[in-house]
Amino acid sequence: DDNDFWFGFEQEYFLWNPETNKPLGFPVNGYPAPQGQYYCSVGAENAFGRDIVEEHLDVCLDAGLNVEGINAEVAAGQWEFQIFAKGAREAGDQIWVARYLLERIGEKTGVSINWHCKPLGTLDWNGSGMHANFSNSALRTAGKKETYDKICEAFRPVVAEHIEVYGADNELRLTGKHETASIYDFSYGVSDRGASIRIPLATVERGWNGYLEDRRPNSAADPYKVAARIIKTVKSVAVEESVDISALVESELA
């Protein structure tokens, strides 16, 4: 663990009808309209299970969890919540508690929570991830592209080590389709949802001060293991942190 590392996990999941063994919103026979209209949607023909999702948000906030948001995802019946925390342990704790609370609400309403990363198999529907947004002081104050390149490149030789802890059956999800990079490749890029690691546009706009998003962890991954592996890789890189000279001068004069 290291409290200098901040994590924002984007936990995706499907609300699942145990009687039909399909996501909410899927007819008993056949399929709903192709994905696309469901993302961040409203309306009874697009959003399925919002009452469960919003109750889960309320319960999480009441429990003191730092849930940053919720949204309907790309596939019908698929949702996401985001949790931000400082330190691997705190981030992992909050994800596991939030998962438990969602299971309990689903139990009460007769809806299952499907955490599998690709529950609809090879059909043309997105899988579920747990994108890991992360930063440390070096990333938050880098001030130059070279620092980001150096840290991203540190992930390239340890792809197998990361995939090992990024969740079971990830080869079904990381195909190079449906906003994923292939499990066999490594790539990074600015605002690239098809990359292994995405450099957010906001990071660039802030003068290369910000965070990175590893898009490979899946929805059933252990957040403790994901965070610990990211910390280990980032710490393997020797980078110089940007120093705010004006702040140092002010502190000396104070």
Residue 249: inside a domain = no
Parallel, antiparallel or unpaired: strands 212-214 and 197-199: antiparallel
Residue 252: inside a domain = no
Instruction: Please tell me the predicted confidence (pLDDT) of residue 240.
Output: 63
Mean confidence (pLDDT) of the chain: 94
Residue 69: inside a domain = yes
Domain range for residue 29?
Answer: 6-242
Q: Is the pTM of this model over 0.85?
A: yes
Contact 170, 218 (CB under 8 A): yes
Task: Output the domain CATH number for residue 125.
Answer: 3.30.590.10
Instruction: Please tell me the predicted confidence (pLDDT) of residue 1.
Output: 79
Instruction: Please tell me the predicted confidence (pLDDT) of residue 168.
Output: 98
In total, how many domains does the chain have?
A: 1
Instruction: Please tell me the predicted confidence (pLDDT) of residue 63.
Output: 98
What are the distances in angstroms from CA 138 to CA 150, 232, 238, 243, 252? 11, 14, 10, 10, 23
Residue 88: inside a domain = yes
Residue 57: inside a domain = yes
Instruction: Please tell me the predicted confidence (pLDDT) of residue 7.
Output: 98
Residue 247: inside a domain = no
Collect the ranges in the chain with pLDDT lower than 50: 243, 245-254
Residue 235: inside a domain = yes
What is the CB-side half-sphere exposure of residue 158 using CA atoms within 13 A? 17
Instruction: Please tell me the predicted confidence (pLDDT) of residue 229.
Output: 98
Residue 217: inside a domain = yes
What distance, in Å, lies between the first and last C-alpha atoms of the chain? 34
Alpha-carbon span 85 to 119, nearest angstrom: 28
